[in-house]
Amino acid sequence: MSRSFAVWGCRDYHRNSKAEYNSDQINFIDELHVNFWNVSEHKISYLDFGISFKNPNDISVTENGAICFFLPLVCQKVNFSDLSENLQSSRDLVTAVFNEYLIDTKTVDSRHLKLVLSNKGDLVVNTGLSFDGGDLDRRIRITNPHNGTLIVFSLSECLSNEQNCTHYLRFRIKLENNQLSSLVKTFYPNDLFLKSNIERSDIIDFRVNEQRNLPSEIASTLASAACTPLKCHIFIIRDMVDDSSASGSNYKGCRILESETWTKYFSHGTSFGKHDPMIYHWKISKDSLSRLNDFSVVVKFKNSKAKFSKIFAYLFYGAAITTLLKFLPTDIHYKWVLLSTSAAFIIAYILSHFLPFRKK
């Protein structure tokens, strides 16, 4: 079973995590956005997190509170990057990320940029996030407890003087192959060698704030959290050729990604190739009767593809038949040659189907 991610707002991140249970609710996190880039054809594997929040109506929480992320992955600081620079560099990208027209921008201070959006109004984005730690950026603290990663954003440091505005953080994690395999379970059919095409099935099981799948210390901290996101948006980006079984009441649909705009979201030279990826969207709103918000997305993707080894296998099979016809009217000595050669071709044909057809 997949381990869960966790996102919550805490009242005082300096206090001991084993402090007494507190059921008081102070909502200051509005929305969580998660983009899971899993485009295997071009080896694009990232997790992007965006979170909007506001100034709590509590001085103690404003001064001591934090926005916390627990990732069930051991991530090094070098794998983190700030995405605010991408938003600053392209107006089209701001429109693509927020699905709103950007009216204007204004620099608030050296660490905050105000975006004036057509519907959301003023949104203050934290800029220049440094994940190296130390005194260079006191907004962020990263540790690796419970075979995972805990990222803490200090609320007082992330808020600007524009305290009546909604604020925003957006960052990226580059996924290593072992981390990707913990998020995507890959299966091949047992009768693969009998099929005309090579099939691969990927199951993505993405969970957030499921306490039964969290370390006990994180689960108890989450239970006493001041708040969790009121709304959550999950976006999974896959190759266009993949067949999806996405469904459910929280599934909002899919579309072809606008590559001309979204390539600006990556480093120079990134390309999606001839076929743009598909993006799948789930939206979860907080239950009004629930103090904490949790959700999960389970989706299966299937890909069928022929490999050159499959073509060679057919050539081997044809060669075996040709050999059979050539040596059929021969004596007993050549019959053993016939049988050995045919058996070799058949074994090569079967073994070629056990090779994975596409690597991560």
Backbone angle region of 43, left / alpha / beta, with phi > 0 → left and psi within -120 to 50 → alpha: left
pLDDT band at 359 (very low <50, low <70, confident <90, very high): very low
- Closest to 119 (Cα-Cα) out of 105, 150, 136, 98: 98
Task: Using the predicted structure, report yes or no on whether residue 204 has a pLDDT greater than 70.
Answer: yes
Q: Which tokens go with 195? A: 């099929």
More confident residue, 75 or 198: 75
Q: Does some domain include residue 146?
A: yes
**Same domain (yes/no): 13, 69:** yes
**Same domain (yes/no): 214, 68:** yes
**Same domain (yes/no): 220, 338:** no
The confidence score (pLDDT) of residue 338 equals 63
Q: Does some domain include residue 25?
A: yes
* Half-sphere exposure for 61 (CA within 13 Å, toward CB): 19
Task: Using the predicted structure, report yes or no on whether residue 255 has a pLDDT greater than 50.
Answer: yes
**Same domain (yes/no): 279, 319:** no
Q: Does some domain include residue 134?
A: yes
- Cβ atoms of 162 and 122 within 8 Å: the answer is yes
The residues, ordered by sequence, that sit 6+ positions from 343 with a Cβ below 8 Å of its Cβ are none
pLDDT band at 34 (very low <50, low <70, confident <90, very high): very high
Q: Among 6-10, 89-93, 142-146, 290-294, where is mean pLDDT lowest?
A: 290-294
- Cβ atoms of 324 and 339 within 8 Å: the answer is no
Domain end (from 305, 329, 346) = 305
Mean pLDDT along residues 259-264: 84
The confidence score (pLDDT) of residue 276 equals 86
The confidence score (pLDDT) of residue 170 equals 96
Mean pLDDT along residues 38-50: 90
**Same domain (yes/no): 35, 111:** yes
**Same domain (yes/no): 313, 297:** no
Burial 93-116 (b: 16+ CB within 10 A, else e): bbebbbebebeeeeebeebbbbbe
pTM score, whole prediction: 0.83
The predicted-structure confidence for 222-249, as pLDDT tens digits, reads as follows 998 999 999 999 999 999 989 998 777 7
Q: Is residue 308 packed enough to be buried (19+ CB in 10 Å), middle (13-18) or exposed (0-12)?
A: exposed
**Same domain (yes/no): 293, 271:** yes
Task: Using the predicted structure, report yes or no on whether residue 358 has a pLDDT greater than 60.
Answer: no
Which residues constitute the domain of residue 292? 6-305
The predicted-structure confidence for 320-356, as pLDDT tens digits, reads as follows 667 666 655 555 556 666 667 767 777 776 666 555 5
State percent of the chain over pLDDT 70. Answer: 82
pLDDT band at 274 (very low <50, low <70, confident <90, very high): confident
The confidence score (pLDDT) of residue 88 equals 86
Q: Does some domain include residue 359?
A: no
The confidence score (pLDDT) of residue 15 equals 74
β-strand pairing of 121-126 with 198-208? unpaired
d(Cα 74, Cα 325) in Å, to the nearest integer?
59
Q: Is residue 259 packed enough to be buried (19+ CB in 10 Å), middle (13-18) or exposed (0-12)?
A: middle
Tally of structural domains, the chain: 2
Mean pLDDT along residues 246-253: 84
**Same domain (yes/no): 244, 276:** yes
Spacing of C-alpha 124 from chain mean position: 24
Q: Among 67-76, 130-139, 218-227, where is mean pLDDT lowest?
A: 130-139
**Same domain (yes/no): 277, 334:** no
The confidence score (pLDDT) of residue 360 equals 41
**Same domain (yes/no): 348, 251:** no
Task: Using the predicted structure, report yes or no on whether residue 357 has a pLDDT greater than 50.
Answer: no
Per the listing, tokens 């001085």 go with: 59
Report helix, strand and coil shares of the chain as percent, to nearest 5. Answer: 30, 35, 35
The confidence score (pLDDT) of residue 270 equals 73
**Same domain (yes/no): 30, 82:** yes
**Same domain (yes/no): 223, 272:** yes
The rounded mean pLDDT for the chain is 85
